[in-house]
Amino acid sequence: MKTFNEYLKNFYGTTSPAGKLAKIAESDPNFPKNITKMQELIDYLMSNSEIKDTRPYTSVFEGYEITK
């Protein structure tokens, strides 16, 4: 089973919320390495001042939950 971070790599280079999240995960050393719960992602998103709306990104996690 892929981790959430591995799942994100599938979207790297796209302009979707998943692609944007993949780019952030790649470039930000503070991005959690092994997210297993949506709350971990929300906590990170809330601490990132560049992200104004967390909903598109939490829907990416919901998509991951469906595929695993």
What's the CATH number where 34 sits? 1.10.150
| More reliable by pLDDT, 52 or 60 | 60
Select from 21, 43, 36 the least CA-distant residue to 68: 36
Q: Looking at residue 37, what is its pLDDT?
A: 96
Using alpha carbons, list the distances in angstroms from residue 15 to 10, 21, 40: 12, 10, 23
Q: Looking at residue 13, what is its pLDDT?
A: 95
Number of C-beta neighbours around residue 17 at 10 A: 18
Q: Looking at residue 49, what is its pLDDT?
A: 85
- Total domains, the chain: 1
Q: What is the pLDDT of residues 7-25, one digit of tens each?
A: 999 999 999 999 999 999 9
Give residues with Cβ within 8 angstroms of 6, minimum separation 6.
none
Q: What is the pLDDT of residues 31-57, one digit of tens each?
A: 999 999 999 999 999 998 888 899 999
Containing structural domain, residue 29: 4-67
